[in-house]
Amino acid sequence: MDNVQTNDLQAMGRAAKAAAATLAQLPDPDKQRALNVMADAVIAATDTILAANQQDLDGATIDPRFLDRLRLTPARVQDMAAGLRQVAQLPDPTAQIDRGWVTEDGLTITQRRVPLGVVAMIYEARPNVTVDAAGLTFKSGNAVILRGGKEALHSNQALATTLRHALTSIDLPADAVQLITDPSHALATELMHLNQYVDVLIPRGGAGLINRVVQTATVPVIETGAGNCHIYVDDAADLEMARKIVINAKVQRPSVCNAAEKLLINASVADAYLPVLAADLRAHGVELRGDDRARAIVPDMVAATAEDWDTEYNDLIMAVKVVDDVDAAIAHINAHNTKHSEVIITNNLAHSRRFQDLVDAACVYVNASTRFTDGFKFGFGAEIGISTQKLHARGPMGLDALTTTKYEIVGNGQVRA
Amino acid sequence: MDNVQTNDLQAMGRAAKAAAATLAQLPDPDKQRALNVMADAVIAATDTILAANQQDLDGATIDPRFLDRLRLTPARVQDMAAGLRQVAQLPDPTAQIDRGWVTEDGLTITQRRVPLGVVAMIYEARPNVTVDAAGLTFKSGNAVILRGGKEALHSNQALATTLRHALTSIDLPADAVQLITDPSHALATELMHLNQYVDVLIPRGGAGLINRVVQTATVPVIETGAGNCHIYVDDAADLEMARKIVINAKVQRPSVCNAAEKLLINASVADAYLPVLAADLRAHGVELRGDDRARAIVPDMVAATAEDWDTEYNDLIMAVKVVDDVDAAIAHINAHNTKHSEVIITNNLAHSRRFQDLVDAACVYVNASTRFTDGFKFGFGAEIGISTQKLHARGPMGLDALTTTKYEIVGNGQVRA
């Protein structure tokens, strides 16, 4: 049967390379068709997928907060299929020549965009990542090796088997999508060292997972996700605008990486404004932790510890610090942020320029919520993740982040003098 | 004294970050001026530098082939200074906005090019890398932490001290250029794990060094250099052109990564052509190693072993294989190459397209020598190295490879629905 997969990573790597060679040459209409066939197959397999998911839910011993991430419903299965159809419609990121020129020696050089080859993903208990990742890597011409959390193993197996059958049904290589079904750490570690076959490894999940991958992997990694995001309310802020943005960035979806975790407030507005803002945040269920100056203004805040300034809560908690000016805000942010998304609320142009120039982060905002750091909101039509490193891709990553380039050079006999 | 450096890597990392923040804001005219001051300082310190280099040469126990790389002369010191002046004149890679757009939510997003921050270089016994790397990282707005080979320690110390004095003399931070002067492996290993401060680590040197860095480092690495480059002579080749290109690619500078190491020759031209080409290569001092089919035509070749096909000789040695067609050449190359530079010699357009489409390498040539894979020959005006990985940069890297981007977003109070 074509869906029997091995957990021999060398064999999986070879199979992925072979599938990637086919995918790299596949015209976009064929990729569109395949993604739609995959979507149909997911819908057709809804019962099987939900039954497998129920097995995972029955066996789950994880934090109930995470059960919701693990749970699939008919609507969520439909969302996964819809996601595949959406990705099908996006422009093919490899159908592009970035630039070209003729050198002094008369060589014609073109820089073409090509797939990376083999992408590996290590993620946690969200089974939708299995389908998302398969769709995005397929559209960009890459084979994928997936390693999801053991909590979602049955769900992931059902999903991967469905996608592999769909590929086989239209004579495409099933090994474009492979799932590691042995959930041991040893195999994840081996995947992180599969340099011969893996072109990039993208971890998706919490800080613990990402750190472990960064510390362990010898294959190239794109670090994603951790977001200790700050909002600085300047002395020249529109305070009503600031209120709306702070509430939105903290409260609208506190569990995600682009939620705000820290509030820095200019001393000249803090006395009058912080009590109002604090009351509003608390009315939204937010626990506040303050530095000494913030607690002098709102005395019933918990005292923030040194650790707080470096913590991504992913929860309805916010630490508050009073700062003297924009430079103090910038210094604090650069010392504590995770290079994700940072905001200044101000109507002072010089302050806004200084903040955007000097804050070191993927996304630096003036007068908007951190929650816009998102491939869809940026208009990319897709999101592989949000890179918090500086190499290759920084900030929200669309399909382009799953490609590289190749120089194609044509001469007429040139040799080097 | 401002040039006293520590070998405490945490302190060096902090100092580098601080210097990088200054450099990132430095206008290009100031960077040009500083690079010219550094060049003047190198010239002025020629005697000191040569004396230090003599100490290294006196103590050298390395392979005499490498002594030439270690040796400095008045002319080579002048070349280093000239290199700094050249880099000064190049366009500032951070003076650029890559793109911008307005999102559906009315946010204005611009993607600005910015320095990486702190670049680390680990290299071997070429003291010129100290000055090259300092110049290139400075021009692109980055601080650099250098760790050269112990064979060149005195030379590197003299050079780094000179550059640091030059920076101090014009009130710029000396810590933009730092050299690790403790040559122990432990410190190199610590540098490879300095994730808090190092944004990218670029190893320059032989395969052993690069492998060690890739296997050990947790900081992001750009892999450079290894070149097991092939030339495939097609049945539709201009054989006289092929001869010139093969000789040039193999002989003109055999020790470098873009020299050709392997000759693949189409069976239909091999009988008549290989004896001629083999004689010519041997006349240039090249030792040939052949597969069975090549040795059936030129019997006095050494038999190539399995290992030969994966070896970068960096020497006047070439392995020869007879293949049936362009697909066989492509399959062999993709199984054995290091993704550096590959050539087809042909006048058949379909063969040339197939070769360029299917060969997986940074640079894929038609009818030209592998030796053109070079930042200068590509017209970049500089070269940091040649990336053989697919993330961030692939092929010859100019100053752009030392930059990343930052999204700057301006709104007027947008919050996420």
Q: Which residues of chain B have pLDDT under 70?
A: 1-5, 62, 65
In a domain, A151, yes or no: yes
Does A208 touch chain B if contact means CB atoms closer than 8 Å? no
Q: Give the closest of A25, A107, A222 to B368, CB-based.
A: A107
Name the H helices within A266-324: 267-283, 292-297
Does A331 touch chain B if contact means CB atoms closer than 8 Å? no
**Look-up of token digits 């932790």:** A289
Q: What is the ipTM of this complex?
A: 0.93
Name the H helices within B108-235: 128-139, 153-169, 185-192, 207-216
Does A221 touch chain B if contact means CB atoms closer than 8 Å? yes
Mean of pLDDT values over A209-233:
91
* Residue A360 scores a pLDDT above 90: yes
Using a CB-CB cut-off of 8 Å, the residues of chain B touching A394 are 404-407
Using a CB-CB cut-off of 8 Å, the residues of chain A touching B408 are 356, 364, 366
In a domain, A384, yes or no: no
A173 and A317 together in one domain: no
To the nearest whole angstrom, how far is the Cα of A185 from the nearest Cα of chain B? 19
Measured between CA atoms, the residue of chain A closest to residue B192 is A215
- C-alpha atoms less than 13 angstroms from C-alpha of B99 in its C-beta half-sphere: 4
A328 and A405 together in one domain: no
Q: What is the pLDDT of residue B226?
A: 85
Does B412 touch chain A if contact means CB atoms closer than 8 Å? yes
* Number of cross-chain residue pairs from A and B with Cβ atoms under 8 Å apart: 199
CB under 8 A, 24+ apart: contacts of B72-81: B72/B127, B72/B128, B72/B155, B74/B46, B74/B50, B76/B128, B77/B42, B77/B43, B77/B46, B77/B49, B77/B50, B78/B43, B79/B128, B80/B42, B80/B128, B80/B131, B80/B132, B80/B159, B81/B39, B81/B40, B81/B42, B81/B43
Average pLDDT over chain A reads: 94
Mean of pLDDT values over A71-83:
95
pLDDT per residue over B311-370, tens digit each?
999 999 999 999 999 999 999 999 999 999 999 999 999 999 999 999 999 999 999 999
Number of structural domains, chain B? 2
| Beta-carbon count within 10 A of B341 CB | 35
* Residue A36 scores a pLDDT above 70: yes
* B372 to A412: CB separation less than 8 angstroms, yes or no: no
To the nearest whole angstrom, how far is the Cα of A360 from the nearest Cα of chain B? 8
Using a CB-CB cut-off of 8 Å, the residues of chain B touching A367 are 410-414
A218 and A115 together in one domain: yes
Considering only residues 123 to 142 of chain A, which have any Cβ-Cβ distance to chain B shorter than 8 Å? none
CATH number for B107: 3.40.605.10
φ/ψ (deg, to 5) at A79:
-60, -40
Token couple for B281: 């290569």
A173 and A267 together in one domain: no
Q: Which amino acid would we find at residue A295? A: R
Using a CB-CB cut-off of 8 Å, the residues of chain B touching A357 are 25
CATH number for A239: 3.40.309.10
Using a CB-CB cut-off of 8 Å, the residues of chain B touching A387 are none
Using a CB-CB cut-off of 8 Å, the residues of chain A touching B409 are 363-366, 368, 372
Using a CB-CB cut-off of 8 Å, the residues of chain A touching B241 are 412-413
Q: How far apart are CA B391 and CA A221, in angstroms?
A: 9
To the nearest whole angstrom, how far is the Cα of A170 from the nearest Cα of chain B? 23
* A220 to B390: CB separation less than 8 angstroms, yes or no: yes
In a domain, B28, yes or no: yes
In a domain, A381, yes or no: no
* Residue A62 scores a pLDDT above 80: no
Considering only residues 141 to 180 of chain A, which have any Cβ-Cβ distance to chain B shorter than 8 Å? none
pLDDT tier at A393 (50, 70, 90 boundaries)?
A: very high
pLDDT per residue over A97-112, tens digit each?
999 999 999 999 999 9
Residue A350: exposure state from Cβ atoms within 10 A (0-12, 13-18, ≥19):
exposed
Q: Are A388 and A362 in contact (CB under 8 A)?
A: yes
Q: What is the pLDDT of residue A1?
A: 34
Does A55 touch chain B if contact means CB atoms closer than 8 Å? no
* B105 to A372: CB separation less than 8 angstroms, yes or no: yes
The DSSP secondary structure of B263-309, one letter per residue, reads EEEEHHHHHHHHHHHHHHHHHTT-EEEE-HHHHHHSTTSEEPPGGGG
Using a CB-CB cut-off of 8 Å, the residues of chain A touching B365 are 409-411
Does A245 touch chain B if contact means CB atoms closer than 8 Å? yes
In a domain, A178, yes or no: yes
SS (H, E, C) B391-411: CCCCEEECHHHHEEEEEEEEE
At A231 the three-state DSSP class reads strand
* B413 to A109: CB separation less than 8 angstroms, yes or no: no
Q: How far apart are CA A284 and CA A251, in angstroms?
A: 7
Q: B174 lies in which domain range?
A: 9-223+389-409
* B105 to A362: CB separation less than 8 angstroms, yes or no: no
Using a CB-CB cut-off of 8 Å, the residues of chain A touching B414 are 245, 367-369, 372
pLDDT per residue over A253-304, tens digit each?
998 899 999 999 999 999 999 999 999 999 999 999 999 999 999 999 999 9
A246 and A146 together in one domain: no
* B416 to A377: CB separation less than 8 angstroms, yes or no: yes
* B21 to A358: CB separation less than 8 angstroms, yes or no: yes
- The CA-atom distances, in angstroms, between B286 and each of A70, A358, B261, B271, B305 are 63, 56, 11, 20, 17
Does B299 touch chain A if contact means CB atoms closer than 8 Å? no
Nearest to B33 by CA among B167, B132, B178: B167
Token couple for A383: 């999101």
B207 and B265 together in one domain: no
* B395 to A389: CB separation less than 8 angstroms, yes or no: no
Q: What is the pLDDT of residue A226?
A: 85
Nearest to A263 by CA among A207, A205, A208, A336: A336
To the nearest whole angstrom, how far is the Cα of B251 from the nearest Cα of chain A? 11
A156 and A265 together in one domain: no
* B407 to A395: CB separation less than 8 angstroms, yes or no: yes
* A371 to B248: CB separation less than 8 angstroms, yes or no: no
B355 and B206 together in one domain: no
φ/ψ (deg, to 5) at B138:
-65, -45
A258 and A163 together in one domain: no
To the nearest whole angstrom, how far is the Cα of A367 from the nearest Cα of chain B? 5
* B391 to A395: CB separation less than 8 angstroms, yes or no: no
* A372 to B107: CB separation less than 8 angstroms, yes or no: yes
* B200 to A391: CB separation less than 8 angstroms, yes or no: yes
pLDDT per residue over B196-238, tens digit each?
999 999 998 888 888 899 899 999 999 887 899 999 999 999 9
Does A410 touch chain B if contact means CB atoms closer than 8 Å? yes
Q: Give the closest of B103, B390, B405 to A404, CB-based.
A: B390
In a domain, A358, yes or no: yes
Q: How far apart are CA B128 and CA B105, in angstroms?
A: 51
Q: Are A361 and A395 in contact (CB under 8 A)?
A: no
Token couple for B107: 């946010």
* B365 to A411: CB separation less than 8 angstroms, yes or no: yes
B397 and B360 together in one domain: no
B197 and B126 together in one domain: yes
At A15 the three-state DSSP class reads helix
Report the Cα–Cα distance between both ends of chain B, in Å, rounded.
Answer: 57
Q: What is the pLDDT of residue B63?
A: 74
Q: What is the pLDDT of residue A373?
A: 97
In a domain, A74, yes or no: yes
* Residue A225 scores a pLDDT above 90: no
In a domain, A2, yes or no: no
Q: How far apart are CA B403 and CA A392, in angstroms?
A: 10
To the nearest whole angstrom, how far is the Cα of B119 from the nearest Cα of chain A? 11
Using a CB-CB cut-off of 8 Å, the residues of chain A touching B415 are 244-245, 247-249, 252, 368-369, 371
A187 and A306 together in one domain: no
